[in-house]
Chain A
Amino acid sequence: MSLTKVSLSNVVLKQYRYKLKAYTGVFMALMVVQVIGILLSIAGGGSGSFSNNVYTLDVTVSSSSLVIVLTMIWAFMNAILMTTKSYREDDFTFVSNRLSYNLSNMVFLLTACIIGAATALLSTGVIRILFYLIHDVDIFLTLTYQVAIGDYFAGALATLLYILLAATAGYLVGMMTQFNKRLIILLPVILVGLNYVVQSNANPGFVNILKFYFMEYSFTVFLLKAIVTILIGSGLAILLSNRLEVR
């Protein structure tokens, strides 16, 4: 029987297609998470009240921030899940090597994150409508019409990158714990410990990391930071798993 020649991209594509069919649970979870996010957004919502002697003004602000945050958590958890043994074994039942396994996982996660970001952004509209129906609203103000189309896309891209950052973090953490089970305990200890050590008045430690990504005002710089982080994280995960023994 003659050997079949293979190309990496061909196998990655096959694995990606397989994952789209097999990992339907990922999208079910996304739906559940975002519905919860929407409901919480309606129930909560930042509100304030202004009043003078003549009348009182109640202001309630609705946004899809909560849905986006929950979607990030979803991306983080799912990325971890995809590095677990049972998911990996499904892959290695058929044709795979570690690189094709990682690449197909990443393409799949990218797909899932794009869908997640899109639905999260669309949830803004849903929240507004539901908000209008449920709360007693006299005047409905919305900012969107003032936002230039370019800015809107920038916002969408930023949302996607945040979700992708969460997924990358999850994937890397997941892969590290796969490589050494002790890291499940060690990793949080190290993170918190490091945070404690470097913490000072001038340098508030852990908060800095969050600031690095979330408080960036220049969009281009943020774009660069996020993309470089995602590439480094993915590269590390691939390097780590290249020595991993399977089945």
Chain B
Amino acid sequence: MVLNMDSTIPIYVQIAEWLENEILNGNLKVDEKVYSQYKLADLFTINPATAAKGLNLLYEEKILYNKRGLGKFVSSEALDIILEKRKNQKLKGLLEEAVQEAVRLSVTNEDLLEMLKEIMKESKGE
């Protein structure tokens, strides 16, 4: 994967998200060692301090845990935490944007809900 350097999302957050994705799709398993800040820096051509910041972010969210002198490892609750976080943050954020856009376009609440149901039905049908 290549980072989006022009994105509005800071690089270290992108690093954290990339690692989360690796955990989500099973490339990184529970109690497995994750890439060091230097490996990540080499992979993405970024400063190792930035990579360390990304790792720290996940450590603070308890997705990773520290083994002294060995590096960071995937915690047993990692998957749950990521799923919960994505639900609460990303999905909520997307919905918030949708609501704001609806207000701007003067779409009523009922119409918006109707649209949502429609989309859900379509994606289930496929």
Chains A and B directly touch (beta carbon < 8 Å) = no
On B, residues with C-beta under 8 Å from A are none
